[in-house]
Each structure stands twice: as structure tokens, then as C-alpha cells.
């Protein structure tokens, strides 16, 4: 059987993780709390599924191995970006934080330039990758970062040499149970935010952290409906405030026709 083929246990993993994430995220929205609590609770749930993976023993990821962080484009919800920004503000000294902000600005600008075709389509290293090859925000890293495991490091090394912008994992055999559970959790987080009339869109990670790293009380403002990510790069504009709800278009058309 090819490594990436779906199996009944994989589908069950996705469904189970989605279902549990629904109650966890609903509780977090009701509690409001701190952004780090959100990530702690999501991570705790995710780890339970990652531990159950049938491919756990085959994973070849190790601390300090960072080809994926050098090459992959990471997309996050606003909540995940806020948690990283809050963590940086709390745990990083001012001089390091200034350097990180400059890196966030540089990577975000480069992504914009790549999107407009004025920069070469080469992979960009994540701003949170430390000089020692480790993630500087490891305890609060995005859900996708903690749910992707390669089962062939050689494939990662090959991909590193040939990856184009935003493209790293298509040729790498991954722990599929982990990916399924992570997809269930991430998708449900987006869905529940939207159900609560909040921003459930996905944003390019560096630009999203940049958007909130200088904002006071970003979680409270996000949960109050403030559009904190209007200047971030939206990679999947599937809902308000980036995309108008279908119902709004339907209301606008008859009014315009009446005036004419």
C-alpha cells in the first residue's frame, strides 16, 4: 500500500479529533482567557492523537533538524498568531524582540514581492527559526508545525534542494495519522471561530505575527471582532472579514437595482 493512502483508521482519527476540537474550542471561546491557554489546550488534545498514531515509531524528525522550517510556508489562524506574539512579548528580551520584528518585516515583504512576481520564487526561512536550528517559539508553535512528521529524512533533504516557494511536503512521506488529526483540529478551530462570527481565515504565519506583535491585548480585541489581520497575507480567504458572506451579496443586489 502506498504510504499516503487513506485507511479507515485515518478517517476515524480525523473525525474523532474534529469532534473533540469542537467542544474544546467552544469552551475556549466562552472562557476567552489567555492566548497561551488556547494553545496549551489545543496542544494537549493534539498530543493525545499524535501519541496514538500507528506511524509514531517511523518518524525521523529530530530537534535541530529544520529543513521544513527553512522551506515550508506555514498558514495559521489568528488565534495561533496571537499566541506566538504574546509569547514573544512575555518571554523574549527587548533586543531580541526588535531583531525578530525586523525579520518578520523582511519575510513578509519578501512574500508580498513573491506574490506580485517581483521576487524570485525561492523558499523563505521562518522568522522563528533560531540560529541553532531550533524553533524559538516551540511551546506555542502553530498547530500544523507540531503535527507534521516526516518518515523519511532523506526525502526532506532532497526536497530542501528542490523546493519552490510554499512547496515542501508534496514529495515527502508523512505520518498520516498525525496529519489527519492535525487537519481535524485546525479545520475545526477555523469553523468554530466562523460560527462565532470571528475571523476564521488562514494567514501566512510571519505576516500574521507581524500584524499583532505590537498590539496590546490582541486576544480580547480579536474576540471582540476587531479586524487585526487586515494587513496580513490571507492565504485562504473563505469567510468574513476577508470574504463577504454570500447573504450580504444577495442583499446588496436588489438595493442597487432599486436605485437605478
* Binding residues for ligand SF4 (CB under 6 A): 60-61, 65, 67-69, 74, 126, 128-129, 135, 137, 141-142, 145, 148, 150, 153, 156
Q: Give the CB-side neighbour count of residue 3, counting CA atoms within 13 A.
A: 14
Q: How far apart are CA 55 and CA 52, in angstroms?
A: 9
88 vs 219 by CB, closer to ligand SF4: 88
73 vs 239 by CB, closer to ligand SF4: 73
Q: Whose grid coordinates read 513573491?
A: 114
Neighbouring CB atoms inside 10 A of 16's CB total: 16
65 vs 119 by CB, closer to ligand SF4: 65
Which H helix or E strand runs over 234? strand 234-236
- Cis, bond preceding 241 (omega within 30 deg of 0): yes
Query: C-alpha 68: how far from its chain's center?
Result: 14
65 vs 194 by CB, closer to ligand SF4: 65
In the complex, what is the shortest distance from the CB of residue 243 to ligand SF4, in angstroms, rounded to a whole number?
A: 26
3 vs 245 by CB, closer to ligand SF4: 3
Q: How far apart are CA 178 and CA 69, in angstroms?
A: 18
In the complex, what is the shortest distance from the CB of residue 71 to ligand SF4, in angstroms, rounded to a whole number?
A: 8
CA distances from 205 to 33, 78, 200, 253 (A): 22, 9, 14, 36
Amino acid at each position: 500500500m502506498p504510504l499516503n493512502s487513506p485507511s479507515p483508521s485515518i478517517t476515524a482519527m480525523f473525525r474523532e479529533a474534529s469532534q473533540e476540537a469542537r467542544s474544546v474550542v467552544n469552551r475556549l471561546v466562552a472562557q476567552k482567557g489567555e492566548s497561551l491557554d488556547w494553545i496549551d489546550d489545543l496542544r494537549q488534545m493534539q498530543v493525545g492523537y499524535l501519541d496514538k498514531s500507528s506511524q509514531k515509531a517511523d518518524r525521523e524528525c529530530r530537534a535541530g533538524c529544520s529543513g521544513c522550517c527553512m522551506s515550508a510556508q506555514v498558514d495559521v489562524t489568528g488565534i495561533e498568531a496571537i499566541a506566538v506574539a504574546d509569547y514573544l512579548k512575555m518571554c523574549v528580551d527587548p533586543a531580541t524582540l526588535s531583531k525578530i520584528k525586523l525579520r518578520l518585516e523582511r519575510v513578509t515583504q519578501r512574500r508580498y514581492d513573491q506574490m506580485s512576481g517581483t521576487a524570485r520564487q525561492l523558499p523563505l526561512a521562518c522568522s522563528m527559526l533560531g540560529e541553532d536550528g531550533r524553533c524559538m517559539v516551540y511551546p506555542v508553535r502553530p498547530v500544523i508545525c507540531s503535527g507534521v512528521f516526516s518518515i523519511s529524512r532523506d526525502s526532506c533533504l532532497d526536497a530542501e534542494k528542490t523546493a519552490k516557494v510554499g512547496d515542501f511536503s508534496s514529495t515527502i512521506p508523512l505520518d498520516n495519522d498525525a496529519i489527519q488529526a492535525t487537519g481535524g483540529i485546525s479545520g475545526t478551530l477555523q469553523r468554530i471561530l466562523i460560527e462565532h462570527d470571528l475571523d476564521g481565515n488562514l494567514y501566512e504565519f510571519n505576516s500574521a505575527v507581524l500584524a499583532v506583535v505590537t498590539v496590546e491585548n490582541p486576544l480580547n480585541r480579536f474576540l471582540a471582532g476587531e479586524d487585526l489581520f487586515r494587513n496580513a497575507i490571507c492565504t485562504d480567504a473563505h469567510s468574513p472579514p476577508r470574504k463577504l458572506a454570500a447573504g450580504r451579496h444577495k442583499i446588496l443586489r436588489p438595493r442597487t437595482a432599486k436605485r437605478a
